[in-house]
Amino acid sequence: MMEGSFLRVLNRARLLLSLHILMICFMHKGYPYEVKGKITSHTTSVSSLLPSPSCLPSTSKASTRKSTLEVIHKRGPCSALAQDPNPLNHTEILLRDESRVKWIQSQSSNGSDGLKASAAVRLPAKAGFMAQDYVVTIGLGTPKKHLTLEFDTGSSLTWTQCKPCKSCYPQSEPIFNPSRSLSYANISCLSTSCPHLGTSECAGSTCIYFIQYGDQSSSAGFFATEKLTITPTEVINNFKFGCGKKNEGFPGGSAGLIGLSDDKISIVEQTAAKYGKYFSYCLPSSTSSRGHLTFGKDGRAVSSVRFTPLSMVSSQFYGIRILGITLGGKRLPIPSTVFSSGDAIIDSGTTFTRLPPTAYSALRTAFRNAMAKYKMAPALTPLDTCYDFSKESTITVPSIIFSFAGEVDVDLDPNGIFYIEKASQVCLAFVANRANSDLVIFGNVQQKTFEVVFDVAGRKLGFGPNGCS
């Protein structure tokens, strides 16, 4: 009798062990399984997904930090750039984003840094400048002049247009005039700050820079130093920047760009002694909200921030490692080899996250199934999964969680799941790459509302919830 009971218990234990092993195999191969303890959906009002016609007041505690700049969307009501008489339409915005992605992926695939032999400082060609969505306002010169600049984690050089111009595009503020600043100085061609030495392309003894972006826009001018004011108490003396005399192919509006990549001429490297190669930002939930860009730790608690390893891809992009995606509490059936077959980066200038086609197909299928009760809308190329929420007051959206190396799970905000053309055309904000081996890009829509922390010196990237509040 006891022997029979023992055998039954033993067989049951073997069965449970077999099921456990089978589950591990499924997880390893990417088969779907339920993730316990995770939020499976978000119920939100449709109005919260839509931008307000007026600029909303800031609710961010980051505004009290001494080294913080306010981040706004350049096409939203908080931005003076939104008053552009010839604003880009959605088709143009999407095409420029596509151009940026193609350029980034071409750089990562061939390993070229885009350098051209020259006596001038010729910087690596960068991703499409015009795809940038977010701007900050800094002070430059003595006396200080306010300039609105776009910021980009994929670019190194900070530059602005300068008078007198050989070729300048229209911008919202007066163009910077170095002759009226007491702290401006050109960098000599003989200086160690000028990476390429020589005289054939120097203006007298002055170092010249030239940078060309993936969309063929370009800026050229003097490589110089100036006083950079982040806030009234945070001033960077002798900051190296490009004083652009010939700037072509830009749509206009902003005065230039801040480069946040890890490079010897980027603001990250130039302020390393002061800020420890540490910065963070929060991209606002909508075009009518505000976020921030902060340099240094500034006494912040990071207990709520989870960190994943950070690497460099093609010497200019911040690399990350994605392990998988969970939708509605279930891990998507994506083989583990899909994300390991190519590199992945996080980028402030790319709008939509670009996924391997195998991963995107699994995400789209599961998302459409979960959203089956809602009316679909025409595609907004390259976005192929769109909905008409014009007759809905609230919607329930399946949670989408990205799992990164280091056991970091990032549950996307509902505003980080959709791209909104209008209430009748709200689209899933992900795009498939051409091949599984193409570079994966974690775009800025998915980064919305998080405190995204770049500890460049520590080689780690952090995500914290409610970063803009």
User: Residue 226 corresponds to which amino acid?
Assistant: E
Cβ partners under 8 Å of residue 21, min gap 6: none
Nearest to 162 by CA among 74, 84, 222: 222
Active-site residue, 347 included: yes
The rounded distance, in Å, linking the Cα atoms of 305 and 277 is 17
Q: At residue 211, what are phi and psi to the nearest 5 degrees? A: -130, 135
User: Residue 358 corresponds to which amino acid?
Assistant: T
The rounded distance, in Å, linking the Cα atoms of 222 and 162 is 9
Give the active site residue among 152, 263, 343, 413. 152
**Helix (H) / strand (E) containing 87:** none
Residue 202: half-sphere exposure toward Cβ, Cα within 13 Å:
19
Q: What three-state secondary structure class fits 385?
A: coil
Give the active site residue among 263, 347, 413, 455. 347
The rounded distance, in Å, linking the Cα atoms of 206 and 121 is 11
- Contact status, residue 159 vs residue 244, Cβ threshold 8 Å: yes
Active-site residue, 152 included: yes
Local structure of residue 123 (DSSP, 8 states): P
Q: What three-state secondary structure class fits 222?
A: strand
The rounded distance, in Å, linking the Cα atoms of 185 and 165 is 17
The rounded distance, in Å, linking the Cα atoms of 158 and 160 is 7
| Torsion (CA) 73, 345, 401, 35 in degrees, nearest 10 | -170
Residues with catalytic annotation?
152, 347
